[in-house]
Amino acid sequence: MHIAGATVLLTGATGGIGRALAHRLARASATLVVTGRQPGPLETLAAEVGARAVVADLSDPDDITRLADRCPDIDVLVANAALPASGDLLDYTPDQIERALTVNLTAPVLLSRLLAPGMVARRRGHLAFVGSMSGKAATPYSSLYTASKFGLRGFAHSLRIDLHDTGVGVSLVQPGFVRDAGMFAATGAEVPSGVRTVSPDDVAEGVLRAVEDNRAELNVAPLELRLRCALAVQFPDVAARSHRRGGDNPAVHQVIEAQRASR
């Protein structure tokens, strides 16, 4: 699927990865529609990249439907929006759990359901989901976030099978630890010592490559993290024991405390 000339809907556009994606898609000559929850930052970004802005709260299913109704001719969906949802599940209220799962999983599923029929009718389109390496391997204090990303990974791969031969591709892009964006950038916590990171621009390049090459899954992460996740898929008990031996990470707890205060 060629990005140049395609109409692209980007969710979560005002975050660190979202901004990098918006600028990269604009440079690739996409006709861009950006969406986010906060009108001010969204309009500023839209002016920067020459995009159309559509305000939507993806924790509200009615808003998701309205967003799709306002974007009927989308060629490419880049479902990037997500809530970090880290921490002990026991600290979350039922409403907070529902909101996290709606933004991280229900929204991309529902947008796919609403936008894919038009793509299939035109026999042209692509659905790209920005997941996480947490969609391959469990980590401490991330059960809710990990559940949403495991679900997104399964959804993307199954939908890709279902849409085979329709002219509509499906891709999943899974970043590792991202510097200058996401939970560590938002809270000021340091990335765990010895962990190599990727940049928002790396993730944006990965998304464009996945769409243009119709890649099923593209992992934007250092080799050692990709290997650890591959081993965790095959040997989850071994991975869990390794996390327990590693003990608690102060940076992770700093992130959790910041998120608890913001809820």
Looking at residue 165, the DSSP 8-state letter turns out to be: T
End-to-end CA distance of the chain: 39
Which of the residues 141, 145, 150, 184 is marked catalytic?
Answer: 145
> What does R_g of the chain's alpha carbons equal in angstroms?
18
Please report where in the chains the tokens 């692209």 appear, as a residue.
Answer: 8
Q: How far apart are CA 26 and CA 24, in angstroms?
A: 5
CB 38 within 8 A of CB 19: no
Helix axis angle for 16-27 and 39-49, nearest 10°, is 30
The 3-state DSSP class for residue 192 equals coil
Q: Where are the beta strands (DSSP E) in the chain?
A: 7-10, 31-36, 52-55, 76-79, 125-130, 168-175, 217-220
CB 12 within 8 A of CB 38: no
**Catalytic residue list contains 145:** yes
Please report where in the chains the tokens 């991280």 appear, as a residue.
Answer: 104
Looking at residue 104, the DSSP 8-state letter turns out to be: I
Q: How far apart are CA 247 and CA 249, in angstroms?
A: 6
The 3-state DSSP class for residue 29 equals coil
Amino acid identity, residue 152? L
Q: How far apart are CA 226 and CA 59, in angstroms?
A: 31
Q: Would you please indicate which residues are annotated as catalytic (active-site) residues?
A: 145
